[in-house]
Amino acid sequence: MNETHHAADAAARAGDGPDLFVVTAATSDTGSAVVRALLGGGSPVVAVGRDGDRLQEDARLGARTHVSALDDAEGLAAALEGATGAFVMMAPGLIPGSEDFPAYQHAVTVAQAAAVEAAHRRGSLRRMVTLSGWAANYPGARGPVAALKRFEDAVEATGVPAVHLRAGSFMENLRADIASVRATGGTGGLVPPDLPLPMIATADVGRVAAEFLRGERPFVPGPVEVVGPAFRTLGEATRLIGAAVGAAGARYAPRSPGAVRAALVDAGSATTWPTGPSP
Ligand SMILES: NC(=O)c1ccc[n+]([C@@H]2O[C@H](COP(=O)([O-])OP(=O)(O)OC[C@H]3O[C@@H](n4cnc5c(N)ncnc54)[C@H](OP(=O)(O)O)[C@@H]3O)[C@@H](O)[C@H]2O)c1
């Protein structure tokens, strides 16, 4: 895996004392990967999610659990009581039926930053890792990605030293393509089939996050790009998926924005977000 450190200053090491790590959206692909990596390394973890039942897997692995919505600043502040480090993220990546997903992202950003700031004032919180994304720094970023830089900035403003993991495209995105290849023998979308993408598995994002939190990597506050060992195209991925699921010759077909939008709306998506930019 490749990581590019953009911050220039020397590594900031954690202070002394026993660690306690909080992970928000602990039932998401990425959050649960961070929980597993931290617990696997012997670190105590508080797993935060909106539904106690859904947190039972984290509890079974040995995490303490805390029920709070991601847009509930007070609930999150209570979860951060005594934490020395935290992984925070925005989840879900999108809510297809939402009529105003950017407003939801804003509320999640404000609540998590307020909770982090409160924990910082209480004195225990020494370091943060946020989940951001490749291209978060691109001024033309649209859709879910547009909110990630604002999330980075909000956590940055709390004063807690933070590493922002700008992850490449999740391998887990391909689950929809696997289903489509199985059902129809092919898949497609807006991304050109021959565009190499910086793919990464969320398990690897989780491992890197845990290593930063535990101080096993030099903790240099700022953005860090995390990608897998090689860039892959969706054409290549679709061929491999086809071979694996018994659909040899499966192809990825480029689709127009209009066709993609119509398919999303047909599938129950709100009409507001598929083509509109985030504010
Ligand atoms: N996909 C990519 O290629 C990529 C790349 C870089 C960065 N990112 C960023 O990664 C983040 C998403 O990470 P992820 O894919 O690991 O998470 P995810 O699968 O999108 O999110 C799942 C989480 O969202 C919660 N959730 C689901 N529906 C919800 C709703 N209607 N209201 C409130 N919460 C809801 C779930 O809670 P329950 O378990 O309780 O249902 C679960 O904790 C986004 O910020 C995205 O921008 C994505």
What are the chain's domains? 18-170+199-229 (3.40.50.720)
Give the separation between CA 249 and CA 187, rounded to whole angstroms.
12
pTM confidence score: 0.92
25 CA distance to ligand 1 centroid (A)? 7
Given the CA of residue 50, which atom of ligand 1 is nearest to it?
Answer: 40
CB neighbours (10 Å) of residue 190? 11
Token reading at 22: 């909080």
Token reading at 127: 């370091």
Helices (H) and strands (E) in the chain, counts: 9, 12
Cβ of residue 89 lying under 6 Å from some atom of ligand 1: yes
CB neighbours (10 Å) of residue 202? 19
Cβ of residue 54 lying under 6 Å from some atom of ligand 1: yes
Query: Is 139 buried (19+), middle (13-18) or exposed (0-12) by CB count in 10 A?
Result: exposed
Given the CA of residue 51, which atom of ligand 1 is nearest to it?
Answer: 40
Given the CA of residue 26, which atom of ligand 1 is nearest to it?
Answer: 43
14 CA distance to ligand 1 centroid (A)? 28
**Chain centre distance of CA 150:** 14
Cβ of residue 93 lying under 6 Å from some atom of ligand 1: yes
Give the DSSP H/E element, type plus range, for residue 163.
strand 162-167
Contact 220, 5 (CB under 8 A): yes
In this structure, which residue's CA is closest to atom 35 in ligand 1? 92
29 CA distance to ligand 1 centroid (A)? 7
Contact 165, 132 (CB under 8 A): yes
Q: What is the pLDDT along the chain (279 residues), one digit of tens a residue?
A: 554 443 333 233 344 668 999 999 999 999 999 999 999 999 999 999 999 999 999 999 999 999 999 999 999 999 999 999 999 999 999 888 888 899 999 999 999 999 999 999 999 999 999 999 999 999 888 878 889 999 999 999 999 999 999 999 999 999 999 999 999 999 999 999 999 999 999 999 999 999 999 999 999 999 999 999 999 999 999 999 999 999 999 999 999 989 988 988 888 888 766 444 444
In this structure, which residue's CA is closest to atom 45 in ligand 1? 90
Contact 116, 125 (CB under 8 A): yes
